[in-house]
Amino acid sequence: MKLWLGYLRRTPLVAFLLLYTVVTGGPFLWVAAMSLRTTPEILDNPYALPIPAHWDNFIDAWTTSRYGVYFLNSLIVVVSAVLLVTLIGAMAAHCLSRYRFRANRLARMIILSGMILPPQLMILSLFQILLQFGLYNTLAGLSIAYVATQLAMTVYILEGFFAQLPQDLFDAARMDGYSDFEIFWRITLPIGLPAVFTTVVLNFIILWNEFLYAIVLITEDDKRTLPLGIMHFMGSHQLDVGMIATGLMISMSPIIVLYALFSETLIKGMTAGAVR
């Protein structure tokens, strides 16, 4: 690891690292500070410290804007969507990357074509389909819509990774009499875990923050998801900067907490050594 310390002069590197840390972490701290202040205070002096700290901002936001409900809905929709898309995507990726069969190219093109058309247009037709399946304005419908939108990218990432796994493992497994499914479950998935982890993380982040489909496919307040909660404060009339910041903190908090708790696992998962 200390390969290049001799080559790179320390000071500029350290300075750069510090600078970049400030640049990435700073805005977050700033929003955190603003979330504890009132709007007039902020507009008076945007960069002051939150003294006094208005902790009741958070209570206000939680109660008046029904964050509890939105949070639960988001949790249900996103977790189920991520689980489904990972399973389905991994299965398809495994098949496409490790088996040779005539329709392989075609199947891959079909599935990946889902990545290139803009969601803003697709939603109009997707809406009609969900309607016909009776899934309009349901959490299940939103979840399935999310699976459909993320499938292509998931397959893309996983397929590329699975394709790099060495053939010998699979040959050995075959010779040991593993069935196709066992090969998938016991070889591809565990060894491909870094890639799987990556897609889980990416999908979770993207879907947790998704709001175009959420706005169109859910029309009852009881079923709304979290991103719509923030939009509440960005009403076209009031510009309650303080409350927006509070809202931002609340909506970011689950992700931040998860990340803080699991970042080591996460990064270990994503960086787990590939097979040599």
Partner 1 sequence: MSASSGEGSRGASRTAIATFLAPALVVYAGFTLYPVLRTFYNSVHLFKERTQEFVGLRNFLDILTQDPVFWKAVGNTATFTIVGTIADVLGGLLLALCLFVGPPLSRPMRVIWFTPVLMSYVVVGIIWVWLYDYDWGLINVILRWLGLGAFEQSWLGDPRTALWAVLVTHLWKWLGFNMIVCLAALHALPGEVLGAAELDNCGWFAKLVYVIIPMLRPTLINLLVLSFIGKMMLFDLVWIMTGGGPLWSTETVSTYVYKRAFDWNTFDLGYPSAIAVLWSVMIVLFVAVMTRLLRSRDRLEF
Partner 2 sequence: MMKTRAKWHLATVVLAVGLASAARAEEVTLTVWSHEADEAAKVALREQAAKNLEKSHPGVHVKITWYEKDGLNTALRTALPAGQGPDVFYVEPDQVEYITNGYIIPLDSLINWNNIYDWARQVWTHDGKTYALPEEAYTNELYYNRQLLAKLGAKLPDSAQFTQAEFLDIVKKARAADVTPIDQGVGDRPYPGAYIIGEALLRKLGLEDYGKLLNGKLSFEDPRVVEVFTWVKQLVDAGAYPKNFMTLKLGESHHYFYQKPGALMFPMGSFYTGRAFVPVEKGGQAPDFPIGIMQFPAMDKAACNECKTVAVGASFAINAASKHQDLAAAYLNELATPEMGKRWIETVYLQTAVKTGPTEFSGPYAGYFKELMERQKGAKYFTGMPVDILTGQCKDTFVQVMNKAFPGGLMSVDEAVKTMNQGCYKS
Residues 167-226 that bind partner 2 (CB under 8 A): 212, 215-216, 219-221
Measuring CA to CA, which residue among 78, 205, 201, 97 is closest to residue 155? 97
CA atoms 30, 31, 36, 41: torsion sign: positive
Nearest distance from residue 173's CB to partner 2, in Å?
48
Which residues, 118 to 157, sit near partner 1 by CB under 8 A?
Answer: 118-126, 128-129, 133, 144-145, 147-148, 151-153, 155-157
**Closest to partner 1 by CB, 98 or 224:** 98
Helix (H, G, I), strand (E, B) or coil at 232: helix
78 part of the interface to partner 2, by CB under 8 A: no
Residue 80 near which of partner 1, partner 2, none (CB within 5-8 Å, type-dependent): none
Residue 189 near which of partner 1, partner 2, none (CB within 5-8 Å, type-dependent): none
**Closest to partner 2 by CB, 35 or 86:** 35
Residue 102 near which of partner 1, partner 2, none (CB within 5-8 Å, type-dependent): none
Please tell me the distance from the alpha carbon of residue 222 to that of residue 66, in angstroms, as a whole number: 9
Please tell me the distance from the alpha carbon of residue 129 to that of residue 53, in angstroms, as a whole number: 49
DSSP letter string, 51-68: SS--THHHHHHHHHTTHH
Q: What number of chain residues touch partner 2 (CB under 8 A)? A: 28
Residues 6+ apart with CB under 8 A from 41: 48, 242
Helices (H), 177-271: 180-183, 189-191, 193-208, 212-217, 226-233, 241-271
15 part of the interface to partner 1, by CB under 8 A: no
Which residues bind to partner 2, rule: CB under 8 A?
A: 38-40, 43-44, 123-124, 127-128, 131, 136, 212, 215-216, 219-221, 228, 231-240
